[in-house]
Structure 1
Amino acid sequence: MEFAELNPDLQQWIRGAVQRGQCQSQVMDALLKAGYQTSIARAVEQCMAGHTGPEASAPAASGYVKKPKGDSSAFRLFEPQRNLYDLGERQVEILLAMKQPNIVLFGNLLSDSECEALIEMSRERLKPSRLVNSESGSFDIGEARTSYGTYFDRGANPLIAGIESRIERLLGVPGNRGEPIQVLHYKTNTEYRPHFDFFPPDRPGNQGILAKGGQRVATLIMYLNNVEAGGSTVFPRISLDVLPKKGCGLFFSYANTAGDLDRQTLHGGSPVIAGEKWIATKWLRLGEFKVGDV
C-alpha cells in the first residue's frame, strides 16, 4: 500500500507520529492495534523516508457560523445552514436543532465499525468515573455518577485522530481546544444525575481546572450502541429527552467568551433500565487544552 493511497486523516496521523519522534515499530504497533493490516508497512516506510508526496488538502470545513469579530457568542453557537454536511468520508445529517439552548443532534457521525472499535479499545482500560469537587478541586467518586470510563489523548491512534479531525471540520472549532475523547460505559441501573458540564468560576475548587484551557464551552456526546431501555440524555429544564442511537452525536453549548453560562443546559444520563450504554464524549474549551492536562 502506497502512502499516497491513504486517506488524508490517516496520512496526517502518520506524519504527526513521525514528527513526534516515534520510530517505525511504534507507529506500526499503533496502526495494527487500530485494526490496520500489515500491508500498511510500506506506506509507513515511505513517510519515514520523507517520500510522502504533496500535502493532502483537507475537505472544506463545517457549517459553523462565524460571528463578527468582537461578538462574544462566536464560539458557542452551531447553527445548521443545511440538512446534510458532506465531510468527504461521511455524510453527517442534522436530525434536530434548537437555538435556545443551542442543541444539535447529528446523525451518521460515526460508522458502526468506529463505534465498535472505540468500545473494544476501552474495555480493558475502564475505571470508576469521578467528579470534580468544586470546593476542594479533588476528583471524587460519588453516587451522582456511576459509570466507568477511560480517555484517549489527541492523536493517540489513527481511529482517534480521524474522529477528532471530523469533529473539527464539522464544528469549525480548532482541535487544540478539545479535551481528550472520553469513553464511558453504563451498566444496568447506572446513571449520571443532572449536572452542568461547565465549571462555575466562583467555586474555589474549579480554579485549577479552569487554568487548563479556560472554561468548557460545549459538549459532543457520541452514542456507540443502541440501548435496550433507558439511558437517554435528559435536559430537565427544557423537558427534552434524547434517546441513544448508535453513530449519532449530540452537541450542546453553554458558555461564551464574555463568561455567560447557559443554565438551561442542565443535563444528565438517565438510568439504564435494560442492557448497557456506551458513549464517547468530547468537551471543548475556550482556549488551548494541552494534551496531558486531563
Structure 2
Amino acid sequence: MPKELTQDWLDWIFENIQRGCDRKELLDILLKEGFDPQLCKIALGYELSKNEIKNKQEKVFLNPKNFSISADQIRDVSAEIYEIEGFLNDDECNLLINKIKSKLRPSTIATSGIYDDSFRTSSTCDLGNLEDLFMQEIDRRLCNFIGIDSSFGEIVQGQHYLENQEFKAHTDYFEGTQLLEHDGGRGQRTYTFMIYLNDVIEGGETEFPKLNKSFIPKKGTALIWNNLNEDGSLNSNTIHQAHPVLKGEKTVITKWFRQASLTLDDKTDDLNKHIQTYTDEGFKKEQLDADLFNEIKEYLALHKDDFYDEFVEGNFIQSDKVDVPSRLFELSDELKNKIHNSLQKPMEAWSKTKLEPTFVYGIRDYKKGAVLIPHRDRNETHIISAIINIDKKVEKDWPLEIDDHFYRRHEVFLEPGEVLFYESARLLHGRPAPLKGESYSNIFCHYMPKH
C-alpha cells in the first residue's frame, strides 16, 4: 500500500524545489520510496487529469460546457475575466460591511493557514459560517449568477483593509504543497467571485500585473475570473495583488469555486438562465395603448361565455381551492396581430434588438387559490415577452415574483391596462402565493430576436 507523505518529506520537497531541482528527478526519488503517486504529483505541482485524481468517494466534476456567465467578458487579455457593475446595491453593501466588521480575524495565506504580516495585512470574516438568512440569500445569488452549484463553492469570506494594508501578488489557485493541504477531495480552485463593498478614496486597486490590467474598487461592482485555462491547467496570468489602501478603507467579499463536488448528483442545471441578456434589469412596467385595451375589453364582453378549462403541461398552475385553477379565452387572429404590432416597437426599443413575433396566448383567467409555479419560459420562442393585465377581482393584490439579472427577487403588481415587459426565458418568475380572490386575467405576448 502506498505511503502517505509526512511533513518532513513535504519540507524536503519544498526545499529542493526552491533550490531549482528537476521535478521529474524528485518524483522518481519519491516513487522509489513508496509514496502515493498522486500525492507526490500534487506536492510537486503537477497537473492531474480527472482520472489521476484520487477518488476516496464519488465526485461530480465541474464541466465548463454546462454553464456560461451572463456578462461581457473582458477582451484582449489572456484570462477569463468579467466586471459587473451594480451587482449589489448600497443597502446590501452596507449591511455586509457591518457583518464583516463584527467578526474579523487576521487574514492568513494558503501555506499552512499562517498569518504573514509582511505579505497579507488585511482582516477576514468567515461570513459563510454565520447562521444568517441574508448571507444565504447572497450566496444563492452568487451561485446562480455564475451558474455553478453551491456544492462546488467554498464559504463566502469578507476581507477588510485599513490604510496601508494590502495583499501582495498571489494566486487564488493552490500552488505546490498547498493543494495537498487544501484539496479535501474537491480539487483545485476554479472561479473567483469578488465584490467591492465600498468606494476607496485612494488606492486599493486590484491589479493583474501579467495582464497589465487594474480595477478600481467601486461599490457593488463584481469581478469574476477563472484561475484555470480551458484545458484545466493553472493560468499563471491570474496572479493578482490588492494594492495598499492609501486613504480610507476597503471591504470586499469573495467566494471561490472548486473542480469537484462531493455532494451533487451528476446532473445538468436548467441552462435557460444563461441565455443572452438584453436589458439592464430584465423587466419594466408600461401602459398598454388605451384604444387597444378598450377593444380587448369590448371583445371579451361579447364572448365572455367562451372561456374553457385549461390544463397546463407540467402542472405549473395549481390550486387547493378549485378543481380547475385556470381557464382560457381565445382571441381573434386580428386582435392577436394588433397586440403584437402595438407592443413590438416599444419592446424593441426596450430590448435594443429587432424582434420577431411568435405567440399571443388568449386571456388566461386564474381562479381562487391559484398558484403559478416559478419557472422560465421556452428558450426558442419566448425570449422577450409581455404580460397584459385585463381584469382582476381580488381580496388581496396578487404579485408576480421575478428575479432580476443579479437574482434579486422582486414583487410586481399590475393594474388593468398595465403591461410588464420581461425577459421571460431567462428570468425565473411565478406567482407562488395563492390567489386570494375570484379571478385574475392576463394576456401573454411573446417575441424572439430576429437573429
Q: Same fold (TM over 0.5)?
A: yes
Change (3 A) 1:155 1:175: farther
- Name stretches of at least 5 consecutive residues in structure 2 with no aligned partner: 1-60, 264-451
Change (3 A) 1:104 1:141: same
Q: Deviations over 1:137-171 (max 9, x none)?
A: 34333311100111122683121111111112211
The reply on whether 1:190 has 2:165 as its aligned counterpart is yes
State the AA in 1 paired with 2:81. I
Q: Which residue of 2 aligns with 1:229?
A: 202
Q: Matches of residues 261-280 of structure 1 in structure 2 within 5 Å?
A: 261-280=234-253
The reply on whether 1:127 has 2:139 as its aligned counterpart is no
Q: Matches of residues 1-294 of structure 1 in structure 2 within 5 Å?
A: 74=65, 78=68, 80=70, 94=72, 96=74, 100-133=78-111, 137-153=112-128, 156-200=131-175, 203-255=176-228, 259-288=232-261
Q: Secondary structure at the match of 1:120?
A: helix
Q: Secondary structure at the match of 1:161?
A: helix
In 2, distance between residues paired with 1:183 and 1:274? 20
In 2, distance between residues paired with 1:274 and 1:242? 17
Q: Secondary structure at the match of 1:101?
A: coil
State the AA in 2 paired with 1:125. K
Change (3 A) 1:138 1:228: closer
In 2, distance between residues paired with 1:242 and 1:289? 34
Q: Is the 8 A contact 1:96 1:106 kept in 2?
A: no
In 2, distance between residues paired with 1:230 and 1:104? 21
Q: Is the 8 A contact 2:190 2:227 kept in 1?
A: yes
Q: Secondary structure at the match of 1:183?
A: strand
In 1, distance between residues paired with 2:201 and 2:120? 20
In 2, distance between residues paired with 1:99 and 1:173? 23
Which stretch shifts more, 209-218 or 181-190? 209-218
Q: Is the 8 A contact 2:78 2:211 kept in 1?
A: no
In 1, distance between residues paired with 2:177 and 2:73? 39
TM-score, length-scaled by structure 2: 0.42
Change (3 A) 1:160 1:141: same
Residue 211 of structure 1 deviates from its aligned partner by 2.1
Residue 208 of structure 1 deviates from its aligned partner by 2.3
Q: Is the 8 A contact 1:129 1:148 kept in 2?
A: yes
Q: Is the 8 A contact 2:100 2:127 kept in 1?
A: no
State the AA in 2 paired with 1:232. E
Q: Secondary structure at the match of 2:98?
A: helix
TM-score, length-scaled by structure 1: 0.63
In 1, distance between residues paired with 2:227 and 2:79? 8
In 2, distance between residues paired with 1:198 and 1:169? 22
How many aligned positions are there? Answer: 203
Q: Is the 8 A contact 1:155 1:161 kept in 2?
A: no
Residue 219 of structure 1 deviates from its aligned partner by 0.5
